[in-house]
Structure 1
Amino acid sequence: MSKHRSLEQWQDIINLHQSSGLSVSDFCRDNNISTTAFYATKKKLTEETLSSSAIFTRVPSGAGYEVILEFAASGAR
């Protein structure tokens, strides 16, 4: 039987996995979590985090303007 979890609960689960030192397979087996659900939800949360922290900046370039995508949390380009 599948168990419905909120995105906040999934974020807690993902954080627990990261601090556990276990592989995803071992962590999911030990916690009765589907690895498919784990990976799918982790991807969804990652995409939401990236899209909510993205900042588009227009900067002059040789042929006009170039759009640069910056991530507020990491400062990466």
Structure 2
Amino acid sequence: MSKRRTPEQWQALVDQQRDSGLSAMQFCKQQSIGYASFCNWRKRLSDAQAGESAAAAEASFVDLSSLMGASSSSGSGWNIVLSLGNGVELRLSQNG
């Protein structure tokens, strides 16, 4: 009968394999772990971490209302550049 492992235990095994220098197949054979199960869990845990990273990198709002109250008589106006990634920028400017 196969042993049930928690996601935390699978993560520990994935980390051990990575640090061992062994291939996944060699590691699984050495630890008596099913290779297909190991690969499925490694992918599942990797996808979960990627999702967490993406959620952490989500954009947030910045209140720019203070820029709108700036005196246009000063002639300074405003210039806003939003970097959207992959070299894409959105530029907003106001002429005094």
For 1:1-77, what aligned pairs fall within 5 Å after superposition? 1-54=1-54, 55-57=57-59, 59=84, 61=90
The Cα shift of 1:61 comes to: 4.6
Which runs of 5 or more residues in structure 2 are unaligned? 60-81, 92-96
| Sequence identity (%) | 32
Q: Give the number of equivalent residue pairs.
A: 62
Runs of 4+ more than 4 Å apart: none
- Structure 1: tracts of 5 or more residues without a match: 63-77
Q: Cα deviation per residue 1:9-35 (whole Å; 9 max; x = unaligned)? A: 011101110111111111100100000
Cα RMSD after superposing both structures: 1.8
- Whole-Å separation in 2 of the counterparts to 1:21 and 1:61: 45
**Residues 28-55 of structure 1 deviation map (CA, whole Å, 9 limit, x = unaligned):** 0010000000000000001110111102
Q: Write the letter of the residue equivalent to 1:31.
A: Q
Task: Give the structure with the higher percent strand.
Answer: 1
Greater Rg, structure 1 or structure 2? 2
TM-score normalised to structure 1 length:
0.71
Q: Which amino acid aligns with 2:25?
A: S
For 1:23 and 1:48, locate their aligned partners in 2 and report how far apart those are by CA, in whole Å. Answer: 22
- 1:52 maps to a residue whose letter is E
